[in-house]
Amino acid sequence: MEDYSLLLEQILQQEQELQFDTFSNGTAIQVGSAILARAQNMGKLITIDIRMNGTVLFHAKMDNNGPGNDHWINRKINAVNHFGHCSYYVHVLLKSRNTTLQESAFVDPLEYAAEGGCFPLQLRSAGTVGTISVSGLAGEEDHEMIVAVLKQILKQEAR
């Protein structure tokens, strides 16, 4: 059986480090636009969704991205809200335990997705206040798309 402990630690560290001091509608546009630009530069077709306190602040769907990606995003958001961690962490955790969402958490797999691509939007002073989601790639790539942009933006803010 494969050891996932290092990957799980890495994802938890990302959640700990990639937090904002403040987050506004303008920040959502900045983050969403940066994810969109990164996807375009890489030739990737994705859907992006940023929500805060249940309100959609940014949503973009690139060409040839059908309604299925919106459903994937909703399922990933449900997983983040239920488990309190990014959807990729939930995916890797379940994989490490050789189980599924339905078996371990008794949730409907049509409503929840343990797959990469939804990251908790966290404020240092308040905890999780929303989600940043990407759908359209493999789960690990969706996750990495978000993490790479958050690292870049938060590094710029720290200057």
Greatest C-alpha distance within the chain: 46
Q: How far is CA 94 from the centre of its chain?
A: 17
What is the pLDDT at residue 13?
A: 98
Do 6 and 140 touch, CB atoms closer than 8 A? no
Q: Kindly report the CA angle at 16 between 15 and 17, in degrees rounded to 5? A: 95
What is the pLDDT at residue 116?
A: 97
What's the CA gap between 74 and 157, in Å, rounded? 29
pLDDT tens digit string along 43-86? 999 999 999 999 999 999 998 887 889 999 999 999 999 999 99
What CATH number has the domain bearing residue 22?
3.30.450.150
Minimal CA–CA distance to 129: which of 120, 118, 138? 120
Do 117 and 135 touch, CB atoms closer than 8 A? yes
Minimal CA–CA distance to 36: which of 57, 61, 18, 19? 61
Our count of domains for the chain comes to 1
Across-strand partners of 20?
A: 123
What is the pLDDT at residue 64?
A: 83
Domain extent, residue 129, equals 5-158
pLDDT tens, position by position, for the chain (159 residues)? Answer: 588 999 999 999 999 999 999 999 999 999 999 999 999 999 999 999 999 999 999 999 998 887 889 999 999 999 999 999 999 999 999 999 999 988 988 899 899 999 999 999 999 999 999 999 999 999 999 999 999 999 999 998 877
Do 112 and 102 touch, CB atoms closer than 8 A? no
